[in-house]
């Protein structure tokens, strides 16, 4: 008699990371993978969420769904908290009671952004926007309920799917002669496909070490230099002007520095993380050939 396939429940199936997870996992017959989105698992229906998650009888839950409208969250703090924090608590409870291992996706926005060195997992958290506050509240709640959960903080996520900086820049550069991009915020982009592969590798390895981990592509850049590299690789001619954060006000404050140290995740799970330029080149090639 065949051993039952391990069942993986993935939330946020329509998002950037969820879509990449779908690409790499949908054809893998060694797992029973269930993808849910905001229609099939509404995170704002809090009273039903626990039972719905539990009903899937998952061995692993990858909770990638989130309220990600960072600026809008400033005027919708309760909604952001409901989706990012309170819903995540219900999912953690269901994971605990259903004996499932949980991976929760968090953000560099839990940090204030005043560091000069790469941020480690135990660096002091102090979010400066509502979105970051809601994700930090989720982290703390999950760790209380399920200390063995894996929490992965990531930054500057982009993909061939959904809305993101890379696709926005290409669109702007194709339609404008000149654009402005912030040059005084430092960090590292994350190609969602690389993160998806890392998550799958953690689960496939069956080496489970709970705790907080950081993941982004290797290297350091600014949004301005990121845009310049997009321009170079996509062979576009738009003039990009560097501006300061103060010249480009947004509803939500952004951390000036959010470069994540990846040493812990690389060491623990023996992961090789690609450089951000290499991954950007790969993504742009896929985007050009994606139908």
Helix (H, G, I), strand (E, B) or coil at 127: coil
The residue annotated as part of the active site, out of 109, 131, 213, 215, is 131
Of the candidates 71, 62, 72, the residue with the CA atom closest to the CA atom of residue 33:
62
Spatial contact of 238 and 231, defined as CB atoms under 8 Å apart: yes
**Close Cβ partners of 156 (under 8 Å, ≥ 6 residues apart):** 108, 165, 187, 188, 189, 190, 216, 226, 258
The three-state DSSP-derived secondary structure of the chain is: CCCCCEEEEEECCCCHHHHHHHHHHCCCCCEEEEEECCCCCCCCCHHHHHHHHHHCCCCEEEECCCCCCCCHHHCCHHHHHHHHHHHHHHHHHHHHHCCCEEEEEEEHHHCCCCCCCCECCCCCCCCCCHHHHHHHHHHHHHHHHCCCCEEEEECCEECCCCCCHHHHHHHHHHHCCEEEEECCCEECCEEHHHHHHHHHHHHHHCCCCCEEEEECCECCEEHHHHHHHHHHHCCCCCEEEEECHHHCCCCCCCCCECCECCHHHHHHHCCCCCEHHHHHHHHHHHHHHCC
213 tagged catalytic: no
Positions annotated as catalytic residues are 131
């Amino acid at each position: 008699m065949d051993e039952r396939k391990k069942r993986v429940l993935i939330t946020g199936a329509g998002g950037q990371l969820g879509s990449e997870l779908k690409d790499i996992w949908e054809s893998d017959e060694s797992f029973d993978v269930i993808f849910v989105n905001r229609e099939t698992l509404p995170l704002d229906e809090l009273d039903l969420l626990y039972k719905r998650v539990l009903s899937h009888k998952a061995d692993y839950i990858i909770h990638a769904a989130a309220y990600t409208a960072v600026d809008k969250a400033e005027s919708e703090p309760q909604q952001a908290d409901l989706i990012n924090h309170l819903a995540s608590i219900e999912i953690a409870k269901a994971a605990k009671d259903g004996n499932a291992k949980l991976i929760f996706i968090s953000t560099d926005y839990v940090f204030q952004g005043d560091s000069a060195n790469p941020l480690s997992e135990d660096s002091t958290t102090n979010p400066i926007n509502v979105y970051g506050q809601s994700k930090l509240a989720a982290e703390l709640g999950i760790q209380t309920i399920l200390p063995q959960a894996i929490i992965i903080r990531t930054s500057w996520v982009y993909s061939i799917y959904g809305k993101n900086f890379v696709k926005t820049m290409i669109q702007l550069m194709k339609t404008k002669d000149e654009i402005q991009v912030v040059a005084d915020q430092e960090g590292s982009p994350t190609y969602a496909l690389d993160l998806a592969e890392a998550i799958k590798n953690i689960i496939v390895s069956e080496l489970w070490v709970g705790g907080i981990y950081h993941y982004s592509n290797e290297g350091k850049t600014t949004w301005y230099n990121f845009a310049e590299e997009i321009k170079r690789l996509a062979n576009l001619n738009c003039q990009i002007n560097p501006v300061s954060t103060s010249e480009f006000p947004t509803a939500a404050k952004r951390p000036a520095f959010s470069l994540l140290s990846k040493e812990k995740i690389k060491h623990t799970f023996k992961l090789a993380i690609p450089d951000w330029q290499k991954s950007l080149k790969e993504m742009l090639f896929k985007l050009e050939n994606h139908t």
